[in-house]
Amino acid sequence: MTSKVAIVKGERGHKPVFKALELVDYESVLSGWTSVLIKVNFITVQTWDTGATTDPMVVEAIIKKLKNLPVKVYVAESDATITNADKAFEVTGMRQMAESNGVECINLRHAKDRVKIKIPNGEALDSITVPRIVMDSAIVNAAKLKTHTSTTVTLGLKNMFGLLPDKLKGKYHMKGINKVIIDINTVLKPALTVIDGFVGMEGHGPSDGTPVKMDLIIAGTDVVATDATASRIMGFDPHKISHICKAYEKGLGTIDDIQILGEKLEDVTRPFRKVNK
């Protein structure tokens, strides 16, 4: 079955995000849900212009579109080993933006009501435990267009890793981060993935690389197809990226059978410098 992925080029602002969401028919995807969790990427407290963290402008555009739907909206992230999500919400301007739009920012690490989810045929894990709100909400995956030292790229599939409420996430890396990413995405599927490519990052990502101004938004309802498309834009073959290829093999989405909406892939491709390991 063909998956649709939107590529929209435009200067940083709401309009490119609006267009991408409309191209992938976001309303149909979120129909029936009463709660939406926008999962941002805050691996660091750096601001959006570094290419390291999700741009509040992108999230605000998503929030404004969701105002048309009968849903309660939250912006979410969890602490990482070296990053406090609450501090990141403040420093990046995400909390101020969210509050001005009547939306709460949630640090998933502090959510007390949690649910254990068994993972069928797990690659590295038998189960994960996540806040109940994660299970009860449609997840809008507001990822970044970045390289990564361990996974080549960090896009939609990798961003789902941050739904785990544990602060000390190194234990998951020790189990094989690519396998853990697959396990999480097997049981937690984003309804919509929106990759913030206004400013991406190349080189030593996910936090110490070089900013790349791309002026792109990439969106889709199939996270594998969306990641595969974003990888190609960055000059990477998704078949050679372990977690994307494995996700395809496990039936989590498609790599090749993709209908591109908006810009032509060849018109926006810009090879990213590979990670310096």
Residue 148's CATH number: 3.40.50
Q: Is the dihedral of CA 110, 114, 119, 124 positive or negative?
A: positive
Residues with Cβ within 8 Å of 149's Cβ and at least 6 positions away in sequence, in order, are: 204, 205, 206, 275, 277
pLDDT at 55 over 70: yes
Q: Is residue 277 part of a domain?
A: no
Q: Is residue 223 part of a domain?
A: yes
The answer, yes or no, to whether residue 39 has pLDDT greater than 80, is yes
Residue 43 has pLDDT above 90, yes or no: no
Q: Which residue has the higher pLDDT, 81 or 30?
A: 30
DSSP secondary structure of 178-232: HHHHHHHHHH---SEEEEEEEEEEESSTTTSSEEEEEEEEEEES-HHHHHHHHHH
| Pairwise CA distance, residues 87 & 250, whole Å | 36
CA 73 to chain centre: 16
Can you give the pLDDT at residue 167?
74
Entry pTM: 0.96
Q: What local confidence, expressed as pLDDT, does residue 168 receive?
A: 64
Q: Residue 144: is its pLDDT beyond 90?
A: yes
Q: Give the pLDDT score at 276.
A: 54
Q: What three-state secondary structure class fits 153?
A: strand
Question: Which of left, alpha, beta for 18 (phi over 0: left; psi -120 to 50: alpha)?
Answer: alpha
- 156 vs 189: CA distance, rounded Å: 10
Overall average pLDDT of the 24-53 stretch: 94
Is a pLDDT exceeding 80 seen at residue 169?
A: no
The predicted-structure confidence for 266-277, as pLDDT tens digits, reads as follows: 999 999 998 655
pLDDT per residue as tens digits for the range 78-113: 998 778 999 999 999 999 999 999 999 999 999 999
Domain count for the chain: 1
Q: Is 273 within a domain? A: no
- Structural domain boundaries enclosing 110: 3-268
CA atoms within 13 A on the CB side of 54: 34
Q: Which residues contact 227 (CB under 8 A, 6 or more apart)?
A: 153, 155, 156, 157, 193, 195, 238, 244, 247
Higher-pLDDT residue of 274 and 49 is 49
**Which pLDDT does position 275 carry in this prediction?**
65
pLDDT of residue 80: 83
Whether residue 204 lies inside any domain: the answer is yes
Mean pLDDT of the chain: 95
Residue 255 DSSP SS3: coil
Residue 114 has pLDDT above 60, yes or no: yes
**Residue 8 covered by a domain:** yes
pLDDT confidence of residue 137: 98
